[in-house]
Amino acid sequence: MQLRVHYLPESVAAEPESLATDQVEHGTAVVIDVLRATTTIVHALGAGARAVIPCLTIEDARAAAGALPSNGVVLGGERGGRSIEGFDLGNSPAEYVPRIVAGKTIVLTTTNGTKALLQCAGSERILMGSFVNLSALCSVLAGRQNVDLVCAGTDGQITREDVLVAGAIVDRLTVEPSSTEPEWELNGEAWAARDAWLAVVTGATDGELTARLIEAMRASRGGENLIAIGMSGDIELAAQIDRFTIVPRFDPVSGRIEADPAPGHMA
């Protein structure tokens, strides 16, 4: 069982063996853009959106939204962290509430998150990772064979906040290996991500955990970008571990992300 972390989506493409045919068949990719695309997607589906359609460009997003009945679609996204002119919503998880998104299809374009997602389209199963769905995601991953955790980064640069989510997943999956299953084989980035996570959380009581996480994310590249544009509240939302029990899954054929209920959890 292989558990690999990729600090940037480009490293998935640069390692053909990580997406070799036999592994694609059985492989699961988890896209992580905790500030904020994957957190926002979990919020949107958790608030009752029917699906999220990720688009690479603003033009693609406008066209995808235009092809759907106007009373059933919400157009969201960001460039430079800010809302896009003419769009209904930005990329803040706080905006994706039931009153606005329940029963709607969200068409979403973000700078790095949607790009990373579309780059993983060759994997058999593509899931979204964040702190707000950490346990639900890990319960799905626990039964898988080959898992690639793909951090979105920012404009080709590694971002610590995504590495921390990857580290939290690695830690959860490796801390109590099942006695009936072989242990995970980790790549170097998986070990390092786990170390980064443990450096933040070791010794924290349950009450201190969120505060430590917020502090670490505020000091990260994505956190600094959000603080600079007055959106630091989104960091606090992104640090709410297990607020949701859904696992968003992207189907490259339909181009839609829908919620997979986690085993043993209510959606």
Which tokens hold the place of 92?
A: 């803040």
By beta-carbon proximity to ligand MLT, the closer residue of 166 and 186 is: 166
Residue that has been written with the tokens 């390092």 in this structure:
192
**For ligand MLT, which stretch binds (CB under 6 A), given 56-64, 97-105, 111-119, 197-205?**
111-119
Compare residues 33 and 189 and give the one whose CB is closer to ligand MLT. 33
- Count of residues engaged in binding ligand MLT, rule: CB under 6 A: 10
Write the DSSP assignment of 187-219 as a string of letters: -HHHHHHHHHHHHHHTT--HHHHHHHHHHHHHT
220 belongs to the binding site for ligand MLT (CB under 6 A): no
Based on the shown chain and the rule CB under 6 A, indicate whether residue 37 belongs to the binding site for ligand MLT: yes
Name which of 77 and 186 has its Cβ closer to ligand MLT. Answer: 77
Residue that has been written with the tokens 């029917």 in this structure: 50
Q: Does 111 bind ligand MLT (CB under 6 A)?
A: yes
The beta-strand segments (E) located in 87-230 are 105-109, 125-129, 146-151, 185-186
Taking CB under 6 A as the criterion, the residue among 110, 133, 220, 240 binding ligand MLT is: 110
In the range 78-97, which residues lie near ligand MLT by CB under 6 A?
Answer: 78, 81, 91
Asked if 27 touches ligand MLT (CB under 6 A), the answer is no
Separation CA 19–CA 119 (nearest Å): 11
DSSP-based helix, strand, coil % in the chain, nearest 5: 45, 20, 35
Footprint on this chain of ligand MLT (rule: CB under 6 A): 33, 36-37, 78, 81, 91, 110-113
